[in-house]
Amino acid sequence: MGIISRIKGRLPVIGAGGGSTTTGPATGESSSAAGAAPASSPAPTLPTAPASDRGDQDAQSFISGVVSEHPVTLFMKGNPDQPQCGFSANAVAILRGYGQPIKHVDVLLDPEIRQGIKEFSNWPTIPQIYVGGEFLGGSDILGQMHESGELGEVISAAASEGGE
């Protein structure tokens, strides 16, 4: 029996009568779900992760604080170890090459931050990179600055000002 057959054999079959039946993987026997106890207990509910680490701060105050407190800040989709888009992955790869700590904010965790960062910078796309409290741009601009050598200068200046 192939893997697809085994998986299908464990899925509930919804019939026209409104009940469901489940076919056992080894015997092919069916059991009616109408009036019968569930075969397994429901999956445990997982605790909900907090939307972001901003607490009860409004989005603009949070963004302003993060940008001013960290020499290199990246508003991105996902996190540096698991970026959720190619542009965010590209930005992380470039920034990591400079050996400075990167403060990241995952905009997918908080819709208010996701929209708020666009308003804060007046820039419509994510990722967004801030160095020394200044908005640099997105992934493409970061790449251009990296290739020209300008990014290294900006990061070095921000790191020395930030005491890093």
**Per-domain residue ranges of the chain:** 3-32, 59-161
Check residue 160 and give its pLDDT: 86
User: How does 115-143 read in b/e, with b if 16+ C-beta sit within 10 Å?
Assistant: ebbbebbebeebbbbbbbeebbbbbebbb
Are 142 and 75 within 8 A, CB to CB?
no
Per-residue pLDDT, averaged over 10-17, amounts to 48
What is the C-alpha separation between 102 and 33, in angstroms, rounded? 53
Tell how strand 72-76 and strand 128-131 pair up: antiparallel
> Which range is most confident: 12-21, 44-53, 113-122?
113-122
Q: Which has the higher per-residue pLDDT, 2 or 106?
A: 106
Instruction: Retrieve residue 5's tokens.
Output: 């057959």
CATH code of the domain occupying 59-161: 3.40.30.10
How much is the mean pLDDT over the chain? 79
Identify the band that residue 58 occupies on the pLDDT scale cut at 50, 70 and 90: very high
Residue 56, pLDDT above cutoff 90: no
Largest CA distance in the chain: 72
| Packing angle of the helix pair 139-148, 86-96 (nearest 10 deg) | 30
CA R_g for the chain: 25
Identify the band that residue 1 occupies on the pLDDT scale cut at 50, 70 and 90: low
Are 71 and 158 within 8 A, CB to CB?
yes
Q: Is the entire prediction scored with pTM above 0.85?
A: no
